[in-house]
């Protein structure tokens, strides 16, 4: 359980940073308000991403194992 929590937090942190940066840049470009808007998006995205990763993690892991076992 501890491993799942830490993994969910770290994975969602990295993905939220990268995805909110990317989408904010696509929508606004590198303007003067980029950092401020990016941080707002990140603060909203990270908790949601962490919760989703924690809840759906076991399902995704099981699904991945099934797919990989069929391919191998």
42 vs 8: CA distance, rounded Å: 16
For the chain, give the secondary structure using H, E and C. CHHHHHHHHHHHHHHHHHHHHHHHHHHHCCCCCHHHHHHHHHHHHHHHHHHHHHHHHHHHHHHHHHHHHHHC
Predicted confidence (pLDDT) per residue in 11-67, tens digit: 999 999 999 999 999 999 999 999 999 999 999 999 999 999 999 999 999 999 999
Residue 2: its pLDDT value, please? 87
């Amino acid at each position: 359980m501890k491993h799942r929590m830490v993994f969910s937090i770290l994975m969602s942190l990295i993905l939220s940073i990268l995805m909110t940066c990317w989408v904010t840049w696509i929508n606004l470009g590198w303007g003067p308000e980029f950092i401020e808007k990016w941080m707002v998006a990140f603060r909203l995205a990270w908790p949601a991403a962490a919760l989703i990763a924690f809840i759906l993690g076991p399902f995704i892991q099981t699904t991945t194992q099934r797919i990989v076992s069929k391919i191998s």
